[in-house]
Structure 1
Amino acid sequence: MINLIVKIIVSAIAILITSALSIGVQVDGFMTAAWVAIVIGILDWAINKFTGIDASPFGRGAVGFIVAAIILYITGRFVDGFNVSVIGAVIGAAILGIVDSFLPADKKVM
């Protein structure tokens, strides 16, 4: 349980950093970022479960990058306080991939 909480916190921080660095991505605070991390984790799990595609922006090439951008865009539709434009989803996926590369692999949700 503690591992899951740490993963959500680290992912929420990555989302906040992405929001600060990206045009078209806006998050209203840490709790919203935590909800975004949870929704991204669920969508990533579901896509991976049904298609076998892992949504890692840089780890899985172009397909992973596109899936990560789509997940960000869809998450913006589900979570109040998290707004993402189409361009923001693409830029956000790139920035999230860069930020994720600096975080420990066992601490990430996405």
Structure 2
Amino acid sequence: MNWLGTIVRFIVSALVLMFVGFLVPGFAVVNFWTALVAAVVIALLGWAVEALFGRRVSPYGRGLVGFIVSAVIIYLTQLVVPGMRVTVLGALLASLVIGIIDLFVPTEFRRGRDT
């Protein structure tokens, strides 16, 4: 496991969450540390969903199911992370924006899966 790569990915994820908070109404993150904790919680919830239901239902899956699962995970994250507020519409829009950003930001996870 590459610890530096993992840390960089969480930092990039936190920056993406802050950017989404700036763009999307109904999605707010107080500061960078809140965004960093939210990125960790989102990753853990995504891992748990994938472990329970398989890759087809994971937030990393393509399509409508992955989109909805991602929105639910984003919405549930606000229950765990103080300083993060998300409405249902905000979670749906954030899931869409994060999905679009994910298309352009290459990650080790996607490269390993697509090959």
TM-score scaled by length of structure 2: 0.87
Tell me the matched-pair count.
106
Could you say which structure has the larger radius of gyration?
2
Q: 1:47: which partner in 2?
A: 49
Shift of residue 18, structure 1, vs aligned partner: 0.9
Q: 1:97: which partner in 2?
A: 99
Shift of residue 102, structure 1, vs aligned partner: 1.6
RMSD of the TM alignment (CA)?
Answer: 1.4
TM-score scaled by length of structure 1: 0.91
Q: 2:113: which partner in 1?
A: none
Q: Say if 1:48 and 1:54, in contact at 8 Å, map to a contact too.
A: yes
Shift of residue 107, structure 1, vs aligned partner: 7.1
Q: Say if 1:70 and 1:89, in contact at 8 Å, map to a contact too.
A: yes
Runs of 5+ unmatched residues, structure 2? 111-115
Superposition misfits of 4+ residues, deviation over 4 angstroms? none
Shift of residue 72, structure 1, vs aligned partner: 0.4
Task: Provide, for residues 10-42 of structure 1, a one-character-per-residue CA deviation record: whole Å limited to 9, x for no partner.
Answer: 111111111111010000011110000000000
Q: 2:74: which partner in 1?
A: 72
